[in-house]
Homo-oligomer: A and B are copies of this chain.
Amino acid sequence: MSKSPTVYDVAARAGVSIATVSFTFRQPHRVRETTRETVMTAARDLGYVPSASARGLAHGRTGALGLYSFDYFGQSINEVVRGISSPSLHTGAVFSDEDNEDFRLFPLYHDEIQRGMEAECGRRGYVLMVGEGGAARSQSDIAEIAGRVDGLAVLPNTLPRDVLGRIAERIPVVELSVPFKDNGLHQVSVDNFGGMKALTEHMIDEHGLKDLVFVGPNGSTDKQARHEGYTQAMRAAGLTPNTIETDQPDPIQFVDGVVRNWMNEGELPQGVLCSVDEEALVYMDALKKAGISVPQQVAVTGFNGVAAGLVSRPSLTTVRQPLIRLGVMAASILVDQMTKRSSNPVVEELPVKVMIRESCGCES
């Protein structure tokens, strides 16, 4: 924690000017080899670490990209960690570190997106800064991260539109997983509609199921497209769409109730198409608890393709998003835009893939 050595210290020790020190690091080819070595040695001896702040200030760019995520559960993750609030599954997220809380299914897809960004950042010479918060955050909070990066990727339901717009005036901003909106921002999403439509068709065509119910929270942007895909496939087959909104504070309990209700009424659906994997896992559990076998009596499917769906029994038929690639693409767009900024926003829609596994009734 002693005061960090600066270019001045290195320069003094090496007997050169600070410009030479700077050149040695930034444009090594411009300094004579002997000089370079003298400087490098001095730097090493001193334990010199260039100040990113100073560099950023002088150079006009920070060298960092930002990923701004929703907070978990529409509230600060801080509170969740403190155990103040009860977990919920809306966002596909649940968790607590409490010893007696066993259930923790994070929105794993967020992690994968981040990983993609991280990778692309590394490749393009940037570092990644992560932030989180809900739409409620104040403008100054946002500045906290926007002022630190040269480009920003944001997940849905995080920053209000006007704030995003303001940030976008300074640095490129890409929205992830949002349905197309012509709002001037760059966008990267996946084919939620097509994926869900294909999956629904699989259930109808391959398994001959007719009574298929779609379950999922509403309000979430990309889930709407999935719902659309489901609806369209059902209609095309002359079937009646049927939707249950899981938008409840305690999804596990809610789903148990739904299943119980089905049994009381004596009318189990033939298949439950969930808008996210985590939800599907909950349904599988609830059905199992109720003595109903999946997929024999009721088929269940998810969406996203998180790892948990691979190890579940039965393994989960789902639609896999290229999450890593989403992150890679976001970072890539940002970096590209920083150099040659295009007049029109870049809009990418990545393909998804239906992953047929066991829970739909196919032998895996």
A interface with B by C-beta (< 8 Å): 1-2, 4, 25, 44, 47, 49-57, 62-64, 76-78, 80-81, 95, 97, 99, 102-106, 108, 111-112, 114-116, 118-120, 122-123, 127-133, 139-140, 143-148, 166-167, 169-172, 281, 307-308, 310-313, 320, 322-325, 328, 341, 353, 355
Contact B341 A1 (CB under 8 A): yes
A172 to B1, CA, bound (A): 7
Scoring A52, A146, A341 by chain B CB atoms within 10 A of each residue's CB, the highest score goes to: A52
Q: Using A52-B56, A54-B57, A115-B106 as known contacts, say yes or no to A170 and B1 having CB atoms under 8 A apart.
A: yes
What are 6 A-to-B residue pairs whose CB atoms are below 8 Å? A4-B170, A52-B144, A122-B133, A127-B130, A129-B129, A308-B311
A52 to B76, CA, bound (A): 23
Contact B130 A128 (CB under 8 A): yes
Q: Using A52-B56, A78-B123, A312-B312 as known contacts, say yes or no to A130 and B118 having CB atoms under 8 A apart.
A: yes
A57 to B52, CA, bound (A): 9
A102 to B122, CA, bound (A): 25
Q: Using A52-B62, A310-B102 as known contacts, say yes or no to A131 and B127 having CB atoms under 8 A apart.
A: yes
Contact B167 A49 (CB under 8 A): yes
Q: Using A99-B353, A127-B144 as known contacts, say yes or no to A51 and B47 having CB atoms under 8 A apart.
A: no
A128 to B81, CA, bound (A): 16
A328 to B82, CA, bound (A): 10
Among residues of B, the one whose C-beta sits closest to the C-beta of A323 is B97
Inter-chain contacts of A99 with B (CB < 8 A): 320, 322, 353
Contact A119 B78 (CB under 8 A): yes
Contact B127 A127 (CB under 8 A): no
Inter-chain contacts of A1 with B (CB < 8 A): 169-172, 341
Scoring A62, A103, A167 by chain B CB atoms within 10 A of each residue's CB, the highest score goes to: A62
Contact B64 A325 (CB under 8 A): no
Contact A130 B132 (CB under 8 A): no
Contact B325 A143 (CB under 8 A): no
Inter-chain contacts of A322 with B (CB < 8 A): 97, 99
Contact B2 A170 (CB under 8 A): yes
A166 to B80, CA, bound (A): 36
**A-B interface, 3 closest residue pairs, ranked by CB to CB distance from nearest:** A313-B313, A53-B56, A52-B148
Q: Which among B50, B63, B132 is the interface contact of A122 at CB below 8 angstroms? A: B132
Contact A49 B119 (CB under 8 A): no
Q: Using A25-B140, A308-B308, A312-B313 as known contacts, say yes or no to A111 and B106 having CB atoms under 8 A apart.
A: yes
A115 to B118, CA, bound (A): 15
Besides A52-B147, A78-B120, 9 more A-B contacts (Cβ < 8 Å) are: A47-B169, A49-B167, A49-B170, A53-B148, A56-B56, A77-B119, A81-B328, A111-B111, A308-B311
Contact A49 B118 (CB under 8 A): no
Scoring A112, A114, A118 by chain B CB atoms within 10 A of each residue's CB, the highest score goes to: A118
Inter-chain contacts of A80 with B (CB < 8 A): 119
Q: Using A54-B57, A97-B323 as known contacts, say yes or no to A127 and B102 having CB atoms under 8 A apart.
A: no
Contact A97 B307 (CB under 8 A): no
Contact A147 B111 (CB under 8 A): no
Name the distance in Å between A297's Cβ and chain B's nearest Cβ: 17
Inter-chain contacts of A133 with B (CB < 8 A): 122
